[in-house]
Amino acid sequence: MVRTRFAPSPTGNIHIGGLRTALYAYALAKHNKGEFILRIEDTDKKREVEGATEKIKELLNLFGLIWDEYFIQSERVKSGIYKKAAEKLVKEGHAYYCQHEGRNAKKEGFSKELRDSCRDKNLTSGAIKLRVPDNEKVSFKDFVVGKEISWNTSDVADATLLKSDGFPTYHLAVVVDDNDMKVSHVLRGHDWMPSTPIHLLVHKYLGFKLPEIGHLTDILDPEGGKLSKRKGSTSVEGLLKEGYLPSALLNYVCLLGWAPKNNQEIFSLEEFVAMFDPKGFQKSNPVFDRAKLDWMNGEYIRKADLEGFIRMLKSESSGFSEELLKKIAPLIKDRIKKLSEFGNYTRFFIEEPTVEKKLLGPNSKKHLEAAKKALDKIKKWDLEEINEVLMEAVKDNGFKIGDFFMDLRIAVTGTRFTPPINDSIVILGKDTTLKRLSKVT
Ligand code: GLU
């Protein structure tokens, strides 16, 4: 049975890389009719952020990454499993008690002097550290990277396994739990790779069967280096706030390091699960390409039916009545790429715009006078009439059509980017339109 887990620490927001880990772990399990576990790794109480666990669950639910089993590591401490494992390692000579329990493995372990000064003091209490052997090879075959990765243990730290307060560190808890929960495949971000030799040793010394282990590629920033927040959010919550749809965001994340055989780009979670194959993991680091995400989000908006689209707009459209929204939605559905653009395109429907005169063209006075005159005589305020009288005005006065409509657009809406102007004028109504024109002329 394939069993995978998503094992976040509740130390802050889930970022795009975390969502990707969860998604791939979910798909790997579900593709194989297996089980997906959510395990909250909260043994480092100092770093825990209040509410983070709830947020993680909320987001996974939102994306449909529903777990079959749920564990909170700190609640498992009471059962004594971690302590028992650590003590077994001490008893068998693979770990030792130590007063010094620094948590930064690199700092504590790489100095041989520091390491030796801790070892073999024959203490019987304190923190418990792994006794890493000298000059042995540890290795495993990474099922994402697709090759063997090895270390010389002389380069590996004597990592702390159990702190003096009885809480396990990540290194111990992850191994004990992966074994206890019968995790068959471990998937995690590439930045965890330095911990892997420690886990390999702990697995071996505890006599556990090693799961398949895979490290996902780093997600790169378009401007080079690892993904950063320079241009917009990289947290999942932030991206949702920016106006990306969960379905589009998840679809985009599917392709951040994995590709289907047939190059299909748009698919649902169910379709992704059905075609998921670890052979599709790409070896090179993907770039977080916002333009592509925008494009994909636009595709999802266009795919939605009008009612669905109106529902999506709920959080963006306070101040708009249901009736007004129904009229505006068809005009912008094919234009916007992100829901958050809704306000920029449509605010003029509910707010009188401030018109910056410098946006208007040199002939705006003539254009707007003619438009006002033409619109004023309309009896039946509909699109057909409006089109007709305005085109007549353009022809009769020999105006340049583009310039005329741009001035009209700016005078009525205050901006250059709006839904089709004549349709907008129909919705605004005669009074409002004429009033706005009078104000500018
Ligand atoms: N708790 C680690 C994290 O926050 C889990 C790493 C792993 O999956 O082993 O990502």
Return the amino acid letter for 439.
K
Q: What would the pLDDT profile of 304-344 be if each residue is shown by its tens digit?
A: 999 999 999 988 999 999 999 999 999 999 999 999 999 99
Contacts of 137 (CB under 8 A, 6+ apart): 150, 151, 152, 153
The rounded Å distance from CA 77 to ligand 1 centre is 17
Strands 147-152 and 95-98: what pairing?
unpaired
Please state, in angstroms and rounded to a whole number, the distance separating the CA atoms of residues 176 and 71: 13
Please state, in angstroms and rounded to a whole number, the distance separating the CA atoms of residues 30 and 130: 35
For atom 10 of ligand 1, the residue with the nearest CA is: 8
pTM: 0.88
The answer, yes or no, to whether any atom of ligand 1 lies below 6 A from the CB of 8, is yes
Whether the pLDDT of residue 390 is over 90: the answer is: yes
Query: Catalytic site residue 229?
Result: yes
pLDDT-based confidence at 43, cuts 50/70/90?
very high
Whether the pLDDT of residue 405 is over 50: the answer is: yes
Q: What would the pLDDT profile of 21-32 be if each residue is shown by its tens digit?
A: 999 999 999 999
pLDDT-based confidence at 229, cuts 50/70/90?
low
Lowest mean pLDDT of 63-67, 110-114, 142-146, 199-203, name the range: 110-114
Lowest mean pLDDT of 201-210, 315-324, 404-413, name the range: 315-324
| Nearest ligand 1 atom, CA 21 | 8
| Residues 51, 57, 60, 63, Cα dihedral to 10° | -80
The whole-chain average pLDDT of the chain stands at 93
The answer, yes or no, to whether any atom of ligand 1 lies below 6 A from the CB of 192, is yes
For atom 8 of ligand 1, the residue with the nearest CA is: 188
Looking at residues 221-244, what average pLDDT do you find? Answer: 85
The answer, yes or no, to whether any atom of ligand 1 lies below 6 A from the CB of 185, is no
The rounded Å distance from CA 375 to ligand 1 centre is 65
pLDDT for 111: 65
Looking at residues 3-15, what average pLDDT do you find? Answer: 96
Contacts of 54 (CB under 8 A, 6+ apart): none
Instruction: For Cα atoms 116, 174, 94, give the angle at the middle one, nearest 5 degrees.
Output: 30
Task: Classify 132 as helix, strand or coil.
Answer: coil
pLDDT for 133: 94
Lowest mean pLDDT of 32-36, 239-243, 320-324, 368-372, name the range: 239-243
